[in-house]
Structures are given as C-alpha cells and as structure tokens.
Structure 1
Amino acid sequence: MAKPITTIQKRQMTEEEKRTEALAKLKAAVGDSEEAVRELLAFIEQLHESGLLEAANALLKAREDVAKIVVGQLNQKPVTTMINHAFAIAGLVASLDPEKTAKLLEHIAAGALEAYEQNSAETKKIGLFDLLKALNDPDINRAIRFFLSALKAIGKRFRNDG
C-alpha cells in the first residue's frame, strides 16, 4: 500500500524558466498591442534623432545636481515673490463671480474695439466744451458713473486698511 501524502511540495521555477515565462508574456503583450508598440518605437526614434533622448538621459543622470539648482533658483527672492503674486491673483480670480467678470470683460473688450475704430477715423482735437457736452451723453455718463463708483469702493478699502 502507498504512503499517504502529508506535504505538498511547491515546484520552484529556475531563473531560466522565469525568464522564459516573462519573455513569453512580453511577446504576447507586444502581439496584442502591436500598433501601440510601433508608435512608441517611432516616438523614441524621433526623440533620439532630435537629441532630446540624450538630453533627458543626461538630465536623469544629473538629477541630484539639477534638483539642487532648481531649489536654489526657487528660493531666490524674485521667484518667491512671483509665486506669491501668482497665488494672490489666483485667489482674487477665484473669488470673482465668473458671470459678472465675463460680462464686464466682454463690455470692456467691445468698447475698446469700438473706441479704436472711432478714434482712428476721427482726427478732431477735443476741447473743454467737447468734454462738458460729452457729460450729457447717457452712455458716457454711465461709464463715468461706473468708474467713479469703482474709485469710491477702492478708496473705502484703502481707508479701512489704514
């Protein structure tokens, strides 16, 4: 009578068998994605021909030195000031109502284009009486009121800041 099996031994693959299996999987993957592999090889060839592949390789080899240079440049006062300004502008833009901002910018752009066209056609010098007459124009009056309101609001905030 045969002996009962008490332990199961797992078969260990040799390094050569592991390599053969990995190569078979790789061949199957390449076969499944043949077009993508061709495009990738063409891309790499273009990088090589343009010298970018060599540059990227050199950059990777010198990554510690490059990182030190980048950090050194980022720590300079003008760069940190610029980054702070960018964050302040981003915060300001994020706080604005997009619909009102879009409408305001649309009005400004359209008005500037119309003014450009009118100004290029008109060569007459504007005098003091022309300015006073212009105040009676409802459109000019509306724009002046807008800018005066904006100046007043800015002035209030300056006063509140001290």
Structure 2
Amino acid sequence: MESIERHALDNILKEEKLLTVNKFLDILSTLDKLGLLDVIQGAINDEELMTKLFSGILNDKALSLLINYKNLGELADLVLNEKTQDKLKFLLELAGTLQHSGVVEPLLGMLKDEDVMGRIISALVNDKTLELMQNWENLLNITLMLTKRETSESLEYFLSFLNELRTSGILDPIRGLLKDEETLGKIISALVNDFTLGLVSNWSDIAKHLSSLDLTGFKGYVDIINAAGKAINDVNYKPIRSVFDILRSLKDPDIQNGLGFLFSVIKELGKMAKEKNAPH
C-alpha cells in the first residue's frame, strides 16, 4: 500500500503534472473570483435542480446520442466539409429566396392539406404516370426530336395549314364524312377497287404513254369525247338500212365533214401502223 502511495505521489510531483495542477488551480481561482464556484456549489447542493439536470442529461435521447456517437462524428465531419458547407449555404439562400417570394407558404399549406396532397399523389402515382416512367427513354427521344429546329418549323407549318383548313370550313365536312360510316365506305370502295388497283399496278406504263401525248391538242381530245358522248345520248338518230340510206346521208354537210375527219384519222393510224410494222 505504501509503495502504491509513494508511486502515486511521485507521479503527481512530475513536472508536467504539476503544471497541469497549477493550471487547474488557476482556473478554480478565476472561477472563485467571478463567483461561479458559489453558483456551482449552490446548484450541487440543490437536489431538485441536480435531479432535473441529470434527468435532462441521462434520458433516452442522450443515451441514443451516446450510442450513435460514431455516426454523429461522421455526420459532424460531413457537415464541416467545405463542399458540404457550400451546398448547405446554397440551400439556405434558396430557402430564404423562396420564403421572401411567397412560394413557401402555399406549399406548406398544400402539404398540410391531406385532401390536396391525396389528389396530387393520386395524380402522380397512377397507371398513366407509371407507363410514362417505363417509356421515359422513348419520351425523351420524342422530346429531343420535337425540340429540333427543323421539326418545330415543320410542326408550325402543319398547324398553320390545319388552322387555315379549319377557318375555310373544309375540315367540318371531312369530319362529317369520317363519322358517316356509310359514306366513308362508299368512298373507300370507290378508291379501292379493281380499276384503281389496276391503275396503281400499271402506273409506270400509263405515265410513260401519257407523257407521249401532245398536250397542245388536248382540247381536241376533249371535243372528240364530248361529240361522241352527245351522239351516244341522241335517241333520235336514224338507222342506216341500205346503201341508198348511206348515199342519201352523204348529202348532209356535217356527215361529209365527219367522214373527212374520220379518213384523216384513218390516214394517221395507217402511218403509225406502217412505222410499227417496218423492219428494223
């Protein structure tokens, strides 16, 4: 026991320990001069106050803090990090700006209103929004395509064209036709039939032959068709029953002119046949 006491005394009398003791005594002296020691002593003697202090220190929260001291240390290191402080400063400035702008109060009101929050959540979390999330990449691709200058100009032109059609009143009859199944069926059957399919399948040949037509004489073609149609619709024509009827009809100037025209056509047909049948 004596050796232990001697060892403890030698430890206390070491130079660095004496310096520490002196500093501690200086602190106590300063506290005594300031009157703080009396306050501390009075607080220690007050059992009720000490009970409150201990109950405030030793509670579930304080114990939880002690248990999670390591995590708190890591959190403190994170908060003291310069980059984290810059981010916290930015967030605080943003919060202050939002508060001054008057945006925060309505948001807080919405968050406290269960009915409004329920509607917002139901609007955000539904089949449509979930489907959008699943197709998010496709949606981004479409958005990028729409933001291109060429696409936006084309859309603007197309929308302007639609607006002009609507203003002119053309779209209303078209919409009416689309809603009338019977009329729409007739139009489709008129467009999609053997004749139109034949035109489509032989369009290259038809276009080639049409390009060989002399369009300067197009009016003459129309006149011939109109004359033929008028003759077909004439129910008062007189039938030719004999050679004498032919000779009698030849006295008519119109028939003479018609025969002259026919012989001219026959002559041209003969020239064409001669060219086609000529040896190559």
User: What is the TM-score normalised by the length of structure 2?
Assistant: 0.26
Relative contact order, higher structure (CA 8 A, sep 6+):
1
User: Which is helix-richer, 1 or 2?
Assistant: 2
